Amino acid sequence: MSETLHNERAGAVVATATGPEDAQALSPATPDNADAQLPPDESPPREAAVIDGAVLLDAVQNFACRFIGYPSDLDSAAHTLWIGHTHLMGSWFSTPRLAVLSPEPGSGKSRVLEITGLFVPNPVLSVSSTAAYIMRKIADQENRPTILYDEIDNVLGKNARGNGELLATLNAGYRKGATTGRVKKVKDDLIPVEFHTYAAVALSGLDTLPDTIMSRSVIMRMQRQPEGETVEPFDPYDHAASADALYDGLAAWAASVTSKAAAYRPELPDGIANRNADIWRPLIAVADLAGGRWPDLARKAAMAAVKAAKANNKPSPGVQLLTDIRLCFAGKDGLPTANLLEQLNADEEAPWGGIGRKGLEARILAEMLGDYGIKSKPYRFGGPGTAQQRGYLRKDFEGAWARYLPSLSPAVTGVTSVTDQECSDKTENYDPADDAASPGV
């Protein structure tokens, strides 16, 4: 494995290697003994060292794997590529957040941020920082920081009170050119001030984060190491020097491919589009520019991440209600409100029976469906000559089902068949294209 060292006095990047292949990849292209017969002051100038990006990413990944118990090799690859993309921030139109999450403490989340901080430009390792502090740090785009925010669950987690200003800054800052506005008082005048928010951000915390962050993130779900499996303890006194060398190598390699990165448009795997394309395009571009095994590895990581995100996504209450109602409507053109409520509340695995003392009621049902433009109406559900009842018609749901739910086979008509088809949609017929950004996010 090779490392690229920075000669601080000379201000030059020089390559060192630990094996013949690495040496060949990183060595200057000069003829053998070209200056052997010349006086020192007449030696021909040497060409700049050619940095092998693939070898460099391999070295960064191997270093990180010594100290981090990754959930999988693909998570390790995604983390390495995320680190690489922070050195080319001017080349991207979006920067994915890195969300390092776990269900329990002691899973290595803080170590991920600590190791990340060794390799990214201008790291700001932060805990419990205010939105104003983060906003002003990022606003200095000449010295754009990489924000590494630990214990973010205390601020944005489901049990925290939340911080709308910080959340808005993190959401906006994944896109280049985004700003947030403030008013500054100068003497007796109020002057509008814009703060740039574009910066790479890694967040670590327990459980989960708001959907608007998750939909912009490369997600790593850490777990505690099994008994008997350990990673190497990280000691800055022993390991920081080799990390510094790799950082210098990343910076030098990034400088050598900056012009290519800005113009490059990588080919994305089928089905990765919209928000998922924003997330993975910079990382796949880094992989393609580095070469070696990384282009294939990056695309595998992207597909695995999109599939995992789909499996872990919990539908909103409204989408869950639309899904369950579609099951209730199997083979029927309409349902009285009382009949629909009875079916929904009877499902022991659904949340509806646990709403209030009586379960889901007509008023709450009407409010939730009203958000999708669906209203109950009087109808003769028993056919001509029967009494009218208030209820819902299938045709009024079809627009919402088409927009928010996976499609069902037209041949599906029975309740059992619909249930089986729903399960098949969720497990077997996976399509990453289903993961387009949620409306309104």
CATH number at residue 294: 3.40.50
Q: How many domains does the chain have?
A: 2
321 and 308 in one domain? no
323 and 297 in one domain? no
- Which of 276, 291, 312 is the endpoint of a domain? 312
| pLDDT at residue 382, rounded to an integer | 84
267 and 400 in one domain? no
| pLDDT at residue 358, rounded to an integer | 86
In a domain, 21, yes or no: no
* DSSP H helical ranges for 157-226: 164-172, 211-214
In a domain, 39, yes or no: no
Q: State the DSSP string of 328-355.
A: HTTT-SEEEHHHHHHHHHH-TTSSGGGS
Task: Tell me how far apart the terminal alpha carbons of the chain are, to the nearest angstrom.
Answer: 43
Half-sphere exposure in the Cβ direction for 375 (13 Å, CA): 3
324 and 301 in one domain? no
In a domain, 357, yes or no: yes
In a domain, 15, yes or no: no
- Which of 312, 329, 361 is the endpoint of a domain? 312
In a domain, 225, yes or no: yes
Identity at 205, one-letter amino acid code:
G
Q: Any idea how long the chain is?
A: 441
Whether pTM exceeds 0.85: no
426 and 337 in one domain? yes
196 and 153 in one domain? yes
304 and 321 in one domain? no
Comparing CA positions, the residue from 369, 418, 364, 426 lying closest to residue 392 is 369
In a domain, 16, yes or no: no
395 and 246 in one domain? no
| pLDDT at residue 125, rounded to an integer | 94
352 and 286 in one domain? no
210 and 340 in one domain? no
What span, in angstroms and rounded, lies between the C-alpha atoms of 126 and 154?
A: 12
Q: Angle, nearest 10°, between helix axes 294-312 and 73-85?
A: 110
pLDDT tens, N- to C-terminus, the chain (441 residues): 444 333 332 333 334 333 334 433 443 333 344 444 444 555 555 555 668 999 999 999 999 999 999 999 999 999 999 999 999 999 999 999 999 999 999 999 999 999 999 999 999 998 988 889 999 999 999 999 999 999 998 888 777 777 888 999 999 999 999 888 888 888 888 888 889 999 999 999 998 888 899 999 999 999 988 887 788 999 999 999 999 999 999 999 999 999 999 999 999 998 898 999 999 999 999 999 999 999 999 999 999 998 888 777 777 889 999 999 999 998 899 999 999 999 999 998 889 988 878 899 999 999 999 999 999 999 998 888 889 999 999 999 999 999 998 776 444 434 333 333 343 343 333 343 444 433 333
Helix (H) or strand (E) holding 147, with range, is: strand 146-150
226 and 104 in one domain? yes
Query: Which structural domain, as residue segments, surrounds residue 377?
Result: 317-435
In a domain, 8, yes or no: no
- Which of 277, 292, 312 is the endpoint of a domain? 312
In a domain, 424, yes or no: yes
| pLDDT at residue 423, rounded to an integer | 35
147 and 205 in one domain? yes
Pairing of strands 389-393, 377-379: antiparallel
Please, are residues 88 and 289 in contact by the beta-carbon 8 Å criterion?
Answer: no
